Structure 1
C-alpha cells in the first residue's frame, strides 16, 4: 500500500519515472514521405529504427489528404512513442478545378503553365473555394485519433525568387521579380487589392516595388493559415508548418510568408544552408532571427538538410543532392540550440547515414548532459 501511494505521489509531481517527456533537452524530428515501395511493414520498421536513433516525432507525408494512410501511420508512430505530424502540402494540387489556380503577372494560370517545374501547380490562396477545401480537408485529418499535429507545407506562393543555390540548376539569374513567377494576379486578387488600397496593381509598371501589394499577399497567406489553424484547434489538435527561413530575410521575399504572424503551435523553418550558398555557421544566424521573430511564443525546430552521398558531395552538381556532412551535424545542432531553437528536424531520416546517426547521438548526449 505504501509503495502504491509513493507511485501515485511521484506521478502527480511529474517525476520523470512516470513522465512521457523525453530525457533529451532538445527534440529531434524528421520529415519523411512515403515512396512507391512503402508498406505498413516498412513504416513499422522505419519508425522503430528512427525512434531508437533518438527521434521525438515524425512529420510524415503519405501523398496528400489520405485519411486511411495517415490513420495507420499515426497509429504506428504512437506505438513507437513518436509524436505524429500529418505533413500535407497545401497549395500543390494537380487535379483541382482549373479556376482555383493562381495567375502570374503575365496572365498565365499555374494550371496551364508552371514556373520552374511541371508539378508547380499552385492554387490561389485568396479563392474562397480553395480556402473552404483546405479548411475541410485539414479538419478531416485532425479528426484522426492518433494525429497530434497537422503539418502545413507549401502554404505559400510560388517562389518569386529562387534560393541562390538553385539558380544555376534552372539556368536562371534572379536579381529581380520576374512576371512568370510572380503570383497572384487573378481577377479576385486584383479587385480585393484595389478595394483595400485604391491601387490597380495591373496599372503599376513594376509591382515589385509596391509595398502595399507585398503586404496584401503576406496577409492573404496569414489569413488562410489562421483559418485552417482555427478549424484544427477546434478539433483539439495542434498545427505546425514547414516554412522558409527568416521570415524577413528570406520567407517574405521569396514566397510571401510572414509566418511570425501565424497563429499556429510550432514552426519548422527549412534552414538548408547549401540552398543559400551559406556555411553551417549561417544556420545559427538565421535561427536567431527566427526565434526572435516569434518572441518565444512558439517553438522553432531548425530544419537541417542531410547529404546522403556525402563522400561524393563535391562531385554532385544538383544542390538538392547536397546537405550536411556527418562532421557538420554537431555544429548545426549547436548553432540552432544556442540561437534559441527547441530542437531540430532532419530532411530526411532516410538520408542519414550511419556516420550521421553517430554524430547526432553524440550531439544529443552533449546537450542532455548540460
Structure 2
C-alpha cells in the first residue's frame, strides 16, 4: 500500500511537470494601473498567472515610479514585466517641439492634421532630437531593476492604407496610396532622400511608384529601432515590439515596417484577422510568414484580438469591437503555433469571457 501511494505521488508530480513543460508561452497586452491599489493589482496579476499568462506588455505611461510600482507587483505574481510605451506617437502638448512631427504628402503636419484619429500625432523618425527623446525615455524605464524589457509600439509611419475591415468605419476606399495619409515629406526627409538618390520626391507625380522612396522610409524606421535596441541591450534588458503582420504581406505595404531587419529579442505581430476580413486560417499564414522571414532565429508571438462581447459581435458596427469569439480561440492558437509562432499574446485579458478562458486553457496545454 505504501508503494502504491509513492507511485501515485510520483505520477502526479510527473503529470504536473509535463503540463508545465508542454504549455505554450503566453503574453498579454494590458494597461493601468489607474486608481487600483497594490492589493487589487497583485490579485489581478496572480489570477492572470493562474490562467496561463507568463508575462505582461504593460502600459503604465512614462513615469519610472509608476512602472516600478507595477513591475514589482508583476514580479511578485510570477509574471514578466515589459514596459509597453508608444514610440513615434506622442500627443502630449509641450512634450516635444511641434516641428519634429511627420508631414504628409499634402504638406500637413501630423501635429495639426493627424490622419484618421486625433491621437495619430506621429513624430518623424529622421530627427536626432526624436531619437534623443526616446533614448532618454526608454533608458530611464530600462534602469528599473524589476523591468524585464521595453516593448515598442507605434514604431512606424501612419497607415498609408488602412486594413480593409476599417474602411467603412472611416468612410474610405483605400485602393491606392493617397497623399494625405502618406508620410514623411518634411524638409529633412525630402532633402536627405534627394542627397541619397538624386530624386526630388516633391517633383514626382506618383511617389508610391518610387521603390527607392519606400526603401528610404523602411530604413528610417529600421535605423531608429536598431539604435534603441543597442541602447537597451547595453543595460542588459530585452527590447521587443508590437508590429503589423508580415512583414512583407502587410507591414511593409501599409506602415513601412521592414521588421525582419530589426535587432530585437522578440516580435509581437498584431495578427488581428477581423481587421483584414480574414478567418483564423489567415493567422496561420501570417505566422508562417513571420517565422520564415526571421528564419526561426527570433521568437514571434502571435497577437490575438479578442472579442469583448461575443454575443453581440454580428450586430456590433465598430470593427474595433470585433475579434475572436470563444469558439475561435483554440484554432487561432493552434494555427499560430503550428506555423512557427513561439507562443501568443492576447489583446487583452480584460476582453476575455469565462467561455473564452476555458477554450484558451484547453489550447495552451495541448
TM superposition score category, shorter chain reference: over 0.9
Aligned to 2:276: 276
Aligned-partner SS, 1:121: coil
The offset of 1:22, in angstroms, is 5.2
Q: How does 1:286-297 map to 2 (within 5 A)?
A: 286-297=286-297
Rounded to whole Å, the distance in 2 between the matches of 1:119 and 1:86 is 20
**Which stretch has the larger CA shift, 219-228 or 70-79?**
70-79
CA contact (8 A) 2:169 2:318 kept: yes
CA contact (8 A) 1:86 1:149 kept: yes
Aligned-partner SS, 1:296: coil
Aligned to 1:75: 72
The offset of 1:35, in angstroms, is 6.2
Q: Point out 4+ residue stretches in structure 1 off by more than 4 angstroms.
A: none
Aligned to 2:231: 231
The offset of 1:37, in angstroms, is 4.3
CA distance 1:22–1:72, shift in 2 (3 Å)? farther
Pick from 36, 42, 45: which aligns with 2:43?
Answer: 45
Aligned to 2:8: none
**Which stretch has the larger CA shift, 36-45 or 95-104?**
36-45
2:93 is aligned with 1:89 = no
Aligned to 2:9: none
2:57 is aligned with 1:59 = yes
Question: Alpha carbon RMSD of aligned pairs, Å?
Answer: 1.4
Aligned to 2:331: 331
Pick from 20, 23, 26: which aligns with 2:21?
Answer: 23
**Which stretch has the larger CA shift, 27-36 or 125-134?**
27-36
The offset of 1:41, in angstroms, is 3.2
Q: How does 1:208-227 map to 2 (within 5 A)?
A: 208-227=208-227
Rounded to whole Å, the distance in 1 between the matches of 2:353 and 2:40 is 18
Q: TM-score, normalised by structure 2?
A: 0.93
Rounded to whole Å, the distance in 1 between the matches of 2:36 and 2:285 is 37
Rounded to whole Å, the distance in 2 between the matches of 1:22 and 1:104 is 50
The offset of 1:210, in angstroms, is 0.4
Q: What is the aligned residue count?
A: 347
Aligned to 1:13: none
Q: How does 1:191-270 map to 2 (within 5 A)?
A: 191-270=191-270
The offset of 1:36, in angstroms, is 4.3
CA contact (8 A) 1:22 1:56 kept: no
Q: Deviations over 1:16-46 (max 9, x none)?
A: 9xx9x95344201100111644443332121
Rounded to whole Å, the distance in 1 between the matches of 2:217 and 2:83 is 26
CA contact (8 A) 1:280 1:328 kept: yes
Q: Deviations over 1:68-100 (max 9, x none)?
A: 111011111111111111100001112221111
Rounded to whole Å, the distance in 2 between the matches of 1:175 and 1:99 is 31
Aligned-partner SS, 2:74: helix
The offset of 1:308, in angstroms, is 1.2
CA distance 1:213–1:22, shift in 2 (3 Å)? farther
Q: Deviations over 1:130-170 (max 9, x none)?
A: 01111121111110101111000000001111011000000
Rounded to whole Å, the distance in 2 between the matches of 1:251 and 1:81 is 33
Rounded to whole Å, the distance in 2 between the matches of 1:158 and 1:42 is 36
Q: How does 1:116-195 map to 2 (within 5 A)?
A: 116-195=116-195
CA contact (8 A) 2:304 2:345 kept: yes
Aligned-partner SS, 2:110: coil
Rounded to whole Å, the distance in 1 between the matches of 2:22 and 2:28 is 16
CA distance 1:349–1:124, shift in 2 (3 Å)? same
Aligned-partner SS, 1:31: strand
Q: How does 1:294-333 map to 2 (within 5 A)?
A: 294-333=294-333
